[in-house]
């Protein structure tokens, strides 16, 4: 039998070596990279790409390398468009290396500062739940995201205070009934409701910064059994260093992403002074990945928890780099680290399954990635949108496509010069993005052939869209601000419906503008918008006009013939500044968050378009002074 055809046996024998704690294993041949190396060899053989017979001896050489421990630690990353090393991502195996990297970066930071001074599985429906109710808007179907409002179809779970969560029973056409309140350990960022478990995510951060101390923060996870929502019972509590960046639930596991700054002063012999903790213990050096760049200033800590047994962490990884963003799908996690001096972004790929997280590979792309919606993985190909920031009016944008090994298959560069990407949405083999500054076009990129991508069309539109949503098969909804044709003034919230049935000729077939002052929440948070597709209704909160402080929740109806029309206007009773809404059946429940820290819940019949039940006023008894 050919050695490569028996690669599974080779993998098993190699992995036995890793059980010996006395052996320091180079990064390039650790377990998480074996599959890549061996599978890559197989792939090359299948393609008859055998210069110097490398594919035939590669598997055997890997095994030999394990025994000799002779390969240097670390793997290179590559700039898109070039196959040459441009930096290094190191899977660190000693605390000494972590210490040296932080120490080097800290020295650079102080020097720079001185010179300057002279950016889930979906919940199973509870028994008896309504057949139709809100789900949190997510980027990837089936990968749940946290929010400040959730429902299981029977009960509503709202963050109604700094550390307070309120539970309400949905009583249909009678409105809602306040059931109880819960107090979290610290300021609540988000929550989940998953299979009868309520999960609260909160953070604690010190109020002062002392250059002699590590500016630490702690994130807490609190798990409550709410099968009987009137009597919630805490079943577990976990914590890890850092403030909450984001989180996901998929296939019964919660994945938590926190970030914290690297310390200014630290003792090499005291791990507590520079190594972050997951739970009560410092993360092991073998679970670190280090980006060797000038601005190493942040830990991104990834952990996983089995929701059936939430009393302990399943796995953890730490990425030491500069500022990061995250994109998560059903199989992979991508961390995005932007290096401002170089004007490029490192994309770091992790594979995950059943709570286990494995580092795979990295690649560099030119430019900055706007947010997680500028990435998408489809049929094994990663598609990426970037903006290269230049001085003056010379910005431009790029589209990259990479295969599963992060080898670039194609790209289009220097798109829309003078513009920056504001929003994006990938729909299978098409990518849509809006740029903004002068002409504000909507672009459609044909990604069907990942080795020959092209721009299908672009449509000039006034204003800009902060978010793009798939509304139906041939309809794309844009949500942003109307600026008029000259772009000189923001006129209010704008909804645009685009016909994308013909990618070569996109059309804006309907638009709606609500005259209001800038709505930062709607522009910054896609979850502030409620799309009720089966009802053809769209809801969002805003000020009543451009010169008023009166807040309301707007529901707009969309019809293919008549376009957008105002459907319901729900006024807040007090000085609200934020709102969220969810629906169960034909009842809309609106949460108004007020300036004084209180909250109001209003219920509305979506068919009769009238208020039902009494307004529920909730005081916050947990405000941290």
pLDDT tens sequence across 307-354: 999 999 999 999 998 888 999 999 999 999 987 667 899 999 999 999
Q: What is the pLDDT of residue 487?
A: 57
The answer for residues whose C-beta is within 8 angstroms of residue 322's C-beta and 6 or more apart is 291, 293, 295, 296, 297, 298, 337, 338, 339, 340
Residue 7 lies in a domain: yes
What pLDDT is recorded for position 75?
A: 32
Residue showing tokens 């028996």: 6
Measured CA to CA, the distance from residue 258 to residue 324 in angstroms comes to 10
Which of 350, 363, 268, 291 minimizes the C-alpha distance to 316? Answer: 350
Residue 625 in domain: no
Contact 166, 181 (CB under 8 A): yes
Phi, psi of 113 (to 5 degrees): -65, -40
- Assess contact for 10 and 62: CB atoms under 8 A: yes
The pLDDT value recorded for residue 530 is 97
Q: Given this model, what pLDDT does residue 9 score?
A: 47
Whether 324 is covered by a domain: the verdict is no
Residue 546 pLDDT: 65
The low-confidence residues of the chain, meaning pLDDT below 70, are: 1-88, 90-93, 105-131, 206-215, 293-295, 340-341, 392, 438-439, 484-490, 517-520, 545-548, 621-625
Q: What is the pLDDT of residues 444-495, one digit of tens each?
A: 999 999 999 999 999 988 777 889 999 999 999 999 887 766 555 667 889 9
Per-residue pLDDT at 576: 86
Q: Per the domain annotation, does 54 fall within a domain?
A: yes
Q: Could you give the strand order of the β-sheet that contains 375-378, starting from the edge strand earlier in sequence?
A: 375-378, 381-388, 396-402, 408-415
Which structure tokens are listed for 487? 């772009």
In the block, tokens 């299948």 appear at 46
- Beta-carbon contacts of 183 under 8 Å, excluding residues fewer than 6 positions away, are 163, 164, 621, 622
Range of 31's domain?
Answer: 1-72
Q: Is there a domain that residue 202 lies in?
A: no
Helix or strand or coil: residue 273?
Answer: helix
In which residue are the tokens 């609200």 written? 576
Name the residue among 531, 412, 397, 514 with its Cα closest to residue 476: 531
- Contacts of residue 541, Cβ cutoff 8 Å, sequence gap at least 6: 519, 521, 522, 528, 551, 552, 553, 554, 576, 578, 579, 580, 581, 592
d(CA 333, CA 348): 8
Q: Other CB atoms closer than 10 Å to residue 412's CB: what's the count?
A: 15
Show Cβ contacts of residue 524 under 8 Å, excluding neighbours closer than 6 positions.
466
The mean pLDDT of the chain is 82
**Residues counted in the chain:** 625
Hey, which bits of 50-154 come out as E strands?
75-78, 85-90, 149-151
Only one residue has tokens 């002392």, namely 210
Total domain count for the chain?
1
pLDDT value at position 291? 80
**Structure token pair of residue 389:** 């920031």
- Residue 307: C-alpha distances to residues 232, 257, 332 (Å): 16, 16, 19
Q: How far is CA 416 from CA 29, 60, 397, 412, in A?
A: 42, 49, 6, 11
Tell whether 544 is covered by a domain: no
| DSSP 8-state code for residue 213 | S
């Amino acid at each position: 039998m050919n050695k490569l055809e028996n690669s599974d046996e080779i993998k098993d024998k190699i992995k036995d070596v890793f059980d010996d704690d006395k052996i320091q294993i180079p990064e390039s041949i650790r377990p998480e990279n074996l599959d890549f190396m061996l599978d890559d060899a197989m792939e090359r053989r299948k393609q008859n790409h055998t210069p110097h017979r490398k594919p035939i001896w590669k598997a055997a050489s890997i095994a030999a390398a394990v025994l000799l421990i002779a390969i240097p630690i670390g793997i290179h990353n590559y700039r898109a468009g070039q196959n040459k090393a441009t930096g290094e991502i190191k899977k660190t195996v000693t605390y000494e290396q972590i210490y040296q990297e932080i120490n080097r970066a800290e020295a650079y930071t102080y020097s720079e500062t001185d010179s300057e001074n002279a950016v889930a599985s979906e919940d199973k429906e509870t028994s008896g739940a309504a057949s139709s109710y809100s789900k949190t808007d997510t980027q990837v179907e089936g990968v749940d995201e946290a929010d400040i409002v959730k429902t299981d179809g029977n009960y509503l779970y709202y963050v109604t205070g700094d550390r307070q969560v309120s539970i309400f029973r949905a009583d249909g056409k009678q409105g809602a009934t306040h059931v109880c309140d819960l107090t979290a350990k610290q300021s609540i960022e988000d929550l989940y409701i998953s299979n009868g478990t309520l999960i609260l995510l909160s953070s604690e951060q010190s109020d002062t910064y002392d250059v002699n101390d590590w500016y630490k923060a702690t994130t807490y996870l609190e798990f409550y059994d709410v099968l009987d929502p009137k009597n919630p019972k805490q079943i577990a509590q976990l914590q890890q260093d850092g403030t909450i960046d984001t989180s996901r639930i998929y296939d019964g596991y919660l994945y938590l992403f926190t970030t914290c700054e690297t310390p200014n002063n630290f003792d090499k012999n005291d791990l507590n002074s520079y190594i972050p903790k997951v739970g009560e213990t410092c993360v092991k050096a073998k679970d670190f990945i280090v980006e060797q760049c000038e601005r190493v200033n942040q830990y991104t800590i990834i952990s996983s928890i089995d929701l059936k047994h939430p009393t302990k962490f399943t796995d953890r990884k730490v990425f030491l780099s500069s500022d990061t963003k995250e994109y998560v799908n059903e199989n992979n996690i991508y961390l995005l680290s932007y290096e401002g001096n170089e004007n490029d972004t490192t994309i770091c790929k992790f594979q995950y399954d059943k709570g286990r997280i494995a580092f795979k590979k990295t690649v560099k792309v030119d430019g900055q990635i706007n947010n997680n919606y500028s990435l998408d993985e489809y049929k094994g190909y990663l598609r990426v949108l970037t903006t290269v920031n230049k001085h003056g009016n010379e910005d431009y944008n790029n589209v990259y496509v990479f295969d599963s090994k992060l080898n670039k298959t194609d790209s289009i560069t220097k798109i829309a010069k003078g513009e920056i990407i504001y929003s994006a949405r990938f729909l299978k083999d098409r990518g849509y993005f809006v740029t903004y500054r002068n002409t504000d076009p909507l672009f459609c990129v044909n990604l069907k052939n990942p080795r020959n991508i092209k721009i299908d069309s672009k449509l000039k539109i006034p204003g800009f869209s902060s978010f793009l949503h798939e509304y139906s098969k041939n309809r794309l909804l844009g949500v942003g601000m109307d600026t008029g044709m000259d772009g000189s003034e923001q006129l209010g919230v704008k909804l645009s419906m685009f016909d994308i049935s013909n990618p070569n000729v996109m059309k804006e077939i309907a638009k709606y503008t609500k005259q209001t002052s800038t709505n930062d929440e709607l522009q910054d948070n896609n979850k502030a918008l409620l799309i009720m597709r089966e009802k053809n209704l769209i809801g969002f909160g805003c000020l009543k006009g451009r010169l008023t402080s009166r807040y309301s929740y707007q529901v707009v109806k969309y019809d293919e013939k008549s376009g957008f029309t105002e459907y319901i206007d729900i006024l807040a009773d007090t000085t609200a500044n934020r709102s969220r809404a969810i629906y169960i059946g034909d009842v809309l429940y609106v949460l108004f968050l007020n300036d004084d820290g209180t909250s109001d819940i209003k219920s509305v019949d979506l068919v009769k378009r009238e208020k039902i039940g009494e307004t529920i006023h909730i005081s916050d008894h947990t405000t941290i002074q």
